[in-house]
Structure 1
Amino acid sequence: MEKATAARFFGQAAIWGASFTFIKFALQDFSPNQLVLFRLILGAVTLAAIILFTGRSFKLSGTAWFHVAVSSIFANVVPYLLLSFGEQHTSAGLAGVLIGGTPLVTLFISTLALRAEPATPRKVTGFFLGFLGVALVVSPWKVEGSSLLGALACFGAAASYAVGYAYVSRFLSPLKLDPITLGANQLISAAVLLGLALPFFAWPAIETVSVIPLLSLLYLGVLASGFANILYFRLIQDVGAATASAVDYVVPVFAVLFGAVLLLEPLSWNVILGGAVILIGMAIAEGRIGSSSLSPASSGKANKS
């Protein structure tokens, strides 16, 4: 992974990791479906503004538009709704950690559906080690039964994200389209699809909106949905679905850290140890360490998978 790609990788992880804390704040004044719809609209407006100011085009072919619409369901609408619901019943840190299941699910889907992204011994070893690190961070023995429903919703979001990664890699990445154009169209599509589904959701009246929930909503829309979507498409184009999804191994570390600082959620030894294990697993998956014993490929080729 090149330095610029690594910077985008960790930047996306930090933005998404912080989003779990800001979802908690935003839910103080907004219902889950309100939060998701406003978040999608803000993200779409942000990327649309970038397109207009930089002279890019919104135009996509009919086939590309279809795939963008499908990917928006798995990458935006479903996981955003599940996370917003799940965080009503569990902590921000736990929600972020459960997203750590995304890379393993993505690896499984990619192996079955994407011939260009085989599950090499090195990648499998690194991903399983990364998931072990996630388990250390989450400390499942500390999770109370009352949060099981929220935890399942968050893991459902992880599975939906995994399908989204594989779908984008299979149908959109080969088109080599501008990530900003793709991101804008995907968020617009997601907002429209959710808007069409609104009659099936409760829409409670918004009585008051205080500063912190409003600023949290702006963060989730502009950064976590807008700019992060650009990084999302660029990473999948650069390194493929499975490796790009490994960003969700680092997201839990940022989620727990932001939860500890901003929400005063407990931070213990297992977070530091789990974070270290996650980074080691990523290094193995990327061929930074142990590539000679885990893969028949030479070290010069290890970073290309």
Structure 2
Amino acid sequence: MRIVYILFVTLGVIWGTSFMFMKIAVKYISPGQVVLLRVVAGFLPLLFYSLYKRTLKAEHIANTHHFVVMSFLATSVYFFAFVKGTELLYSGVAGAVSGSIPLFSFIAAVIFLEEESFGKEKLIGCLMALVGISLITKPFSGTLDNNLLLGVSWMALGSLSLGLSFVYAKKYIIPLNIENSALVTYQLGIAAVFLLLATNLEDFSKLSSNGWALTSTVVGLGVIGTGLAYVIYYYLVDALGAVKAASVTYLPPVVALVIAVLIVGEPLVILDYVGAALILSGIYVLNKYNK
């Protein structure tokens, strides 16, 4: 089991570093171009993995409409909103706000799933996380920072989009009993096609002017941060179960903050740490009582 927990921590580190890579990439190319590169570079290793596992089936074509919806909610909108948010925020702050993904997933489930209950303990967890997000926008600073507010809003939109995808998957995807590796391969492949059609490729070559930026985007954010990360995640789901594997989402916000302070040198303030702590604490309470 040691390898399982090594991979658990590795996945948290991979997802936590993605905010630094996004911050680097948007200095050279547009957010849409960043997402396109990430999706294409992440799709290829997943395609090979799915072919190796033989999980891609011709009969799955009948469910293409579901894969299209998931490609928008769990890939295109989710990734784009996170890149836009990270562009406007410090990478550590963006990572901290990303810890709210389970909050928005729960809110979406309460609204759209009849079986989802909402007790006082869950309400407390929600309020803690929401207060944490609010504190990161520096509401007591005396002046409204539009970039900060807009950045947090983009991160919240990305978290909500991913949360809606979980609800959609529970209602329409899980009953199909399709292997996870196949689902994500279809999801990324369809997203790549739409992104290629919708993204302006002009000035794409600017990224190649900096070897580190190009490598960090294609390899760090795409191949490792998307393709390999999904492979590790679904390996953990098989080894630990979905609930335990999902707890890996606690690690990326912490990793992002550590990288922001120790490596990037971002000038984070006490409210950023307090906000991150409240978000994670609120998510812990939600998970504890969401049985």
- Give 1:42 shift: 0.9
Aligned equivalents of 2:160, 2:256: Cα separation in 1: 18
8 Å Cα contact 2:8-2:236 kept in structure 1: no
Once residues 274 and 4 of structure 1 are traced to their aligned partners in structure 2, the CA distance between those partners, rounded to angstroms, is 33
Q: Which residue of 2 aligns with 1:252?
A: 253
Aligned residue identity for 1:16: W
* Contact kept in structure 2, 1:101 and 1:159, CA below 8 Å: no
Match of 2:194 in 1: 193
2:213 aligned with 1:213: yes
- Percent identity at matched positions? 27
After superposition, the Cα gap between the structure-2 partners of 1:68 and 1:133, relative to the gap in structure 1 and judged at 3 Å, is same
Name the amino acid aligned to 1:86. G
Distance in 2 (CA, whole Å) between partners of 1:65 and 1:174 is 15
Distance 1:16 1:141 in 2: 31
* TM-score normalised over the length of structure 1: 0.76
Cross-structure match for 1:173: 174
Instruction: Give the distance between the partners of 1:232 and 1:141, measured in 2 at CA.
Output: 42
Structure 1 contact 259–265 (Cα < 8 Å) conserved: yes
1:162-199 deviations in Å (ceiling 9; x for gaps): 2222212222123332221111111111101112223x
Distance 1:131 1:153, change over 3 A: closer
Contact 1:133 1:274 in 2 (8 A): yes
Using CA pairs under 8 Å that are at least 6 residues apart, name the structure with larger relative contact order, 1 or 2.
2
Q: Which amino acid aligns with 1:214?
A: L
Aligned twin of 1:295: none
The one-letter code matched in structure 1 to 2:188 is L
Q: Partner amino acid for 1:263? A: V
Distance 1:266-1:283 versus aligned 2 partners, 3 A rule: same
Higher helix fraction (1 or 2): 2
State the partner residue of 1:184. Answer: 185
Cα-to-partner distance string for 1:279-305 (whole Å, 9 max, x where unaligned): 544443343xxxxxxxxxxxxxx68x2
Instruction: Tell me the residue number matched to 1:113.
Output: 112
In structure 2, relative to structure 1, the CA distance for the partners of 1:149 and 1:126 (3 Å cut) is closer
The match for 2:22 is 23
User: Residues 17 and 128 from structure 1, CA distance in 2 versus in 1: closer, same or farther, beyond 3 angstroms?
Assistant: farther
Identify the residue that residue 70 of structure 2 maps to in structure 1. Answer: 71
Which letter maps to 1:284? V
**1:107/1:119 contact within 8 Å kept:** no
* CA RMSD, Structure 1 to Structure 2 (Å): 3.6
1:128 matched to 2:132? The reply is: no
- CA change 1:9–1:71 in 2 (3 A) is farther
Partner of 2:159: 158
8 Å Cα contact 1:40/1:190 also seen in 2: yes
Q: How does 1:1-305 map to 2 (within 5 A)?
A: 12-57=11-56, 59=58, 61-135=60-134, 139=138, 141=140, 144-198=145-199, 201=200, 203-207=202-206, 208-217=208-217, 218-230=219-231, 231=233, 238-239=242-243, 244=246, 250-270=251-271, 273-274=274-275, 276-287=277-288, 305=291
Deviation at 1:267, TM superposition (A): 4.2
Distance in 2, matches of 1:61 and 1:114, equals 25
Partners of 1:181 and 1:254 in 2: how far apart? 29
Q: Distance in 1 between matches of 2:204 and 2:271?
A: 41
Residue 146 of structure 2 aligns to which amino acid in structure 1?
G
Deviations 1:234-286 (A, max 9, x none): 76x8249xx95x76565433322222233211245455555554554444334
Structure 1 unpaired stretches of 5+: 288-301
Note the C-alpha offset of 1:233. 10
Q: 1:221 to 1:263 in 2, by over 3 A?
A: same
Q: Matches of 1:5 and 1:123 in 2, distance apart?
A: 30
CA distance in structure 1 between the aligned counterparts of 2:159 and 2:181, rounded to whole angstroms:
23
Q: Is the 8 A contact 1:25 1:213 kept in 2?
A: yes
